[in-house]
Amino acid sequence: MGLAAGKEILDKASAEGYAVGAFNINNMEILQAVVAAADKERSPVMIAVSECAIKYAGIDYISSMARTAADSTDVPIALHLDHGQHFEVILQCIRHGFTSVMIDASHFPLEENIAATKRVVEVAHPLGISVEAELGRLQGVEDNVSVAERDAILVNPKEAQFFVTETQVDFLAPAIGTSHGAFKFKGKAELESRDSRRRKG
């Protein structure tokens, strides 16, 4: 079938009311397991790859394996860069056939985050590549991204709307109380919602 754009997969999921799993892979065996499960369940999937995984396995191997996996099934599969923090790595992924990239400039002030995200959107969108961005800070550790609890900042919905309008990003990862990596197994996640904000107020 070939790789599908992340936006194409997520737009259909949004319209039809179902979730899509995004699974980070580091090697062939993990990729094979994810695709076999997606094929068995007839469920679209996002194959996510971190900058560290690219450094570990090599982008040529990862992109070739993902294309082979996508050609082995008729279930839609996107190849997605997760938490891309370096513009040169994002360009490398685009050149190697990734169908979705994430620019994570959430550690910058809002204006700088917007500027960095727009730069990626301007390169990716003309090529039909979806762009994800992150707003706010999530507690915990994921790949080489670490955020202490005192630095975790929840997203203001109006700011999120402004961010999406300004950047024209395809999808957004907002900090709403979720946690990353090993932290997700410690304590109870407190997700921010309208109701929880009312109770605090």
> 11, 39, 82, 170: which one is catalytic?
82
More confident site: 27 or 199: 27
Residue 2 corresponds to which amino acid?
G
CA distance 27 to 131: 24
Task: Tell me the pLDDT tens digit for each residue of 62-74.
Answer: 999 999 999 999 9
Q: What are phi and psi of 128, to 5 degrees?
A: 80, 20
Dihedral sign, Cα of residue 191, residue 192, residue 194, residue 200: positive
User: Over the range 65-82, which residues count as b (16 or more CB within 10 Å of their CB) and which as e?
Assistant: bbbebbeebebbbbbbbb
Is the separation of the CB atoms in 135 and 161 below 8 Å?
Answer: no
Q: Tokens 């194409």 label which residue? A: 8
Q: Is 31 exposed, middle or buried (0-12, 13-18, 19+ CB in 10 A)?
A: buried
Q: Tell which wins on pLDDT, 173 or 151.
A: 173
Domain boundaries, the chain: 6-200
pLDDT of residue 136: 79
Confidence bin at 151 (pLDDT 50/70/90): very low
Q: Is the model's pLDDT at 170 over the cut of 60?
A: yes
Give the pLDDT score at 72: 94
> Has residue 197 got a pLDDT over 80?
no
Share of the chain above pLDDT 70, in %: 79
Is residue 133 classed as helix, strand or coil in its secondary structure?
Answer: strand
Check: CB of residue 105 under 8 Å from CB of residue 84: no
Edge-to-edge strand ranges of the sheet holding 139-142: 145-147, 139-142, 179-180
Indicate the SS3 state at residue 113. Answer: helix
Higher pLDDT, residue 177 or 53 = 53
Return d(Cα 4, Cα 129) in angstroms, integer: 9
pLDDT > 60? residue 54: yes
Check if 82 is active-site: yes
Give SS3 for 83: strand
Query: What confidence score (pLDDT) does residue 87 get?
Result: 97
pLDDT of residue 91: 98
> Which residues, other chains included, contact 1 with Cβ-Cβ below 8 Å and sequence gap of 6+?
70, 71, 73, 74, 75, 76, 77
Q: How confident is the model at residue 53 (pLDDT cuts 50, 70, 90)?
A: very high
Least confident among 69-83, 91-105, 138-152:
138-152
Q: What is the mean pLDDT of the chain?
A: 86
Total number of residues shown for the chain: 201
What is the band of 137 on the pLDDT scale with cuts at 50, 70, 90? low
Give the tokens for residue 78: 């996107």
CATH 3.30.450.20 fits 6-200, yes or no: no
Is the CB of residue 137 less than 8 Å from the CB of residue 152?
A: yes
